Amino acid sequence: MSIELQENEKPLLAEIVVRMNKARKAFHEGNLSNEVAEWVLEAGGFAHELHMLLKARGHEPKHHGYMIRNRELQPDDPEFYMHFHPIEDLLKFLADEHANDDSVDQTIGAEFTFKVYSSRWGHDDTYTVKRTQLGWIISNIAIGGPCDKGGRPFLYENFRQDSIHYPEGLDGWMEWLWKQAAEEGLTQPQVQTALQQLADWVSNTEKNRPTGGIWEGY
């Protein structure tokens, strides 16, 4: 949802937009001259003024965590907007108040289940999977411990222990899921669903291995 500006705020936005459009065009042409830097500084001054007005009425513009880190300043510091990018992000915020929201890693320390079929025992086994900073902690009856993001070594040691056949490259999928959880801020149910999809893939591989006939006794 966009932020509705009040009458005293609209002229500030107009001043910012004029200068930013000129600066953007200049940058696109590879022009980093002092004149262009001056346009950005002027726009930054107006941006700070607009920021403070919005803050005063409870609509302080949000910025990405990385932007605050990179600027090494808080957004209400007059110097914060003395750069092209934070001004660009202010304009994005005005168009959509969630434009600068960051995704948060929500599942470090969360526990999941990984229910997989074992032909050896003729039933599903449920492993416990906990997501950690370095990967996963995977445990089942006797075998378990800290694993890397690919689930190595204990996920596969459990499979070997029970002669469970699993798809080649499963470690890559586990790793991908771990990273998506971190970068996209996946929720606990989203990670649980994805993990069970992988477990179902293992179960299908296990259930569909050739049996009977010449395979008897293999």
Partner 1 sequence: MSKFAKRGRSGSGVVTFLDVLGWKGVYDRKQDAIGSLTNLIEGVKTRADGASRGRIVESVEVKSISDTIAIFTFCSDAETVAAIEVHGELCQWLIPESIESEIPVRGATAFGNFEIHDSIFVGKAIDEAASWHEQSDWIGVHLTPSAEYVFETKKSNAAWVKFRPPHKNRLDWEPHCVNWTADWTNRVDETKQIKDKFRRLGPIVPEIAGKFANTLSFIEKMAKLEPVAK
Asked whether the beta carbons of 152 and 159 are under 8 A apart, the reply is: no
Structure tokens of 192? Answer: 């649980």
Task: Decide whether 24 or 115 has the Cβ nearer to partner 1.
Answer: 24
Using CB under 8 A as the binding rule, whether residue 183 contacts partner 1 is answered as yes
Interface map 129-168 toward partner 1 (x if CB under 8 A): ----xx-----------x-xx--x---------------x
Residue 159 tokens read as 């499979």
Q: How far is the CB of 58 from partner 1 (least distance, A)?
A: 25
Q: Is 31 in the site for partner 1 (CB under 8 A)?
A: yes
Q: What residues numbered 195-214 form the site for partner 1, per CB under 8 A? A: none
Please, which residue, 48 or 149, has the CB nearer to partner 1? 149
Backbone phi, then psi, for 191, in 5-degree steps? -65, -40
Pick from 17, 175, 188, 196: which binds partner 1 (CB under 8 A)?
175
Question: Alpha-carbon distance 167 to 203, whole Å?
Answer: 10
Instruction: Rule CB under 8 A: say whether 21 interacts with partner 1.
Output: no
Please give the structure tokens belonging to residue 2: 């966009």
DSSP 29-93: TT---HHHHHHHHHHHHHHHHHHHHHHHTT-PPP--HHHHHHHTS-TTSTTTTSSHHHHHHHHHH
Q: Which stretch binds partner 1 (CB under 8 A): 7-15, 79-87, 190-198, 200-208?
A: 79-87
List 1, 4, 7, 30, residue binding partner 1 (CB under 8 A): 30
Is residue 67 part of the contact set for partner 1 (CB under 8 A)?
A: yes
* Choice between 66 and 215, CB closer to partner 1: 66
Q: Which residues contact 60 (CB under 8 A, 6 or more apart)?
A: 51, 54, 75, 76
Q: Quote the distance between the C-alpha of residue 66 and its chain's center.
A: 13
Q: Which residues bind partner 1 (CB under 8 A)?
A: 27, 29-33, 64, 66-67, 70-71, 83-86, 133-134, 146, 148-149, 152, 168-169, 172, 175, 183
